């Protein structure tokens, strides 16, 4: 974990309201695992909190995140200029730990939840990925080249403008008999993860499943207890430090 001042290398609009931001770190931040995230300042001292984003790509000292414009902070980041200095804290969280034994991995992602999944697919060449990715519409679709590295890619949209009109969870369950997965990994809005958990219970799917959660953060490193989620036993876990990746049965969604 390092607090560094990074230099903006590129800011690129990759889909409607979605931007890819690449920054160059002054030194290596150490090993970065798929599903880990970073906290980045928005460049304006009046916004005291850094924003958390999944790390999509790490190459040398260049790190890329992709983000949807939501509020003031992401507006500012989308307007960052090459050469701007932004403070970053990284790498954060546990990331997706894919067991050696898992050979066939189902990937389910919705909306901005697809980003932390990209490095898992790109970084585990010995595994086969079966990806089910949902977007609002075709203008929101992005990173299809990266997801295209999957053994099989199913893209769906809320309005049917790209792929079938469906959501990512249903798309997987409609296809479930065609894939024998040893692991499911998922990231997306809370409604998507709840639907996934419910469907798995309904259909008696026992495949191990890892989900990546989001929560508003303070420190990002586990010190302030701002970002907690509820574990199944009623205790709290810190999304930033104990997560953001949890076993789906370990947390209340």
Ligand X SMILES: Cc1cc2nc3c(=O)[nH]c(=O)nc-3n(C[C@H](O)[C@H](O)[C@H](O)COP(=O)(O)O)c2cc1C
Question: Which residues here bind ligand FES, judged by CB under 6 A?
Answer: 217-220, 222-227, 238, 240-241
Chosen from another protein, ligand X, ligand FAD, none, partner binding at 244 (C-beta under 5 to 8 Å by type):
ligand FAD
Contact 89, 217 (CB under 8 A): no
Chosen from ligand FAD, another protein, ligand FES, none, partner binding at 51 (C-beta under 5 to 8 Å by type):
ligand FAD
Of the candidate residues 43, 189, 218, 222, the single one contacting ligand X (CB under 6 A): 218
Taking the C-alpha atoms of residue 249 and residue 156, their distance in angstroms, rounded to an integer, is 26
Taking the C-alpha atoms of residue 147 and residue 251, their distance in angstroms, rounded to an integer, is 27
As a whole number of angstroms, the longest Cα–Cα distance in the chain is 52
Task: Calculate Rg over the CA atoms of the chain.
Answer: 18
Chosen from another protein, ligand FAD, ligand X, none, partner binding at 67 (C-beta under 5 to 8 Å by type):
ligand FAD
Taking the C-alpha atoms of residue 53 and residue 214, their distance in angstroms, rounded to an integer, is 10
Number of residues that bind another protein (CB under 8 A): 31
Find the binding residues for another protein in span 91-120 (CB under 8 A).
none
Q: Cα angle vertex 108, ends 158, 105, to 5°?
A: 150
Q: Is 46 in the site for another protein (CB under 8 A)?
A: yes
Q: Is 121 in the site for another protein (CB under 8 A)?
A: no
Q: Applying CB under 8 A, which part among 1-9, 144-152, 175-183, 203-211 lies near another protein?
A: 1-9
Q: Give the nearer residue to ligand FES in terms of CB position, either 171 or 239.
A: 239
Taking the C-alpha atoms of residue 54 and residue 114, their distance in angstroms, rounded to an integer, is 9
Of the candidate residues 14, 97, 191, 225, the single one contacting another protein (CB under 8 A): 225
Strands 104-110 and 183-187 turn out to be parallel
């Amino acid at each position: 974990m390092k607090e560094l001042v990074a230099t903006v290398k590129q800011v690129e609009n990759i889909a409607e309201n979605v931007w890819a931001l690449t920054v160059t770190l002054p030194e290596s931040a150490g090993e970065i695992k798929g599903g880990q995230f970073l906290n980045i300042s928005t460049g304006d001292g009046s916004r005291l909190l850094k924003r958390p984003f999944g790390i999509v790509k790490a190459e040398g000292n260049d790190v890329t995140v992709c983000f949807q414009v939501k509020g003031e902070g992401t507006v500012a980041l989308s307007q960052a200029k090459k050469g701007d200095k932004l403070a970053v804290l990284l790498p954060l969280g546990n990331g997706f730990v894919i067991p050696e034994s898992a050979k066939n991995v189902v990937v389910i992602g919705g909306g901005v939840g697809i980003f932390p999944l990209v490095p898992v697919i790109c970084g585990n060449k010995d595994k086969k990925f079966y990806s089910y990715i949902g977007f609002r519409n075709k203008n929101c679709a992005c990173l299809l080249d990266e997801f295209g590295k999957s053994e099989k890619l199913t893209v769906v949209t809320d309005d049917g403008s790209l792929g079938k009109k469906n959501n990512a969870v249903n798309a997987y369950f409609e296809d479930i008999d065609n894939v024998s997965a040893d692991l499911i990994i998922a990231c997306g809005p809370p409604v998507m993860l709840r639907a996934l958990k419910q469907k798995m219970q309904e259909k008696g799917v026992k495949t191990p499943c890892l989900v990546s959660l989001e929560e508003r953060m303070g420190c990002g490193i586990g010190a302030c207890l701002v970002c907690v989620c509820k574990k199944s036993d009623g205790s709290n876990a810190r999304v930033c430090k104990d997560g953001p990746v949890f076993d789906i049965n370990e947390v209340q969604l």
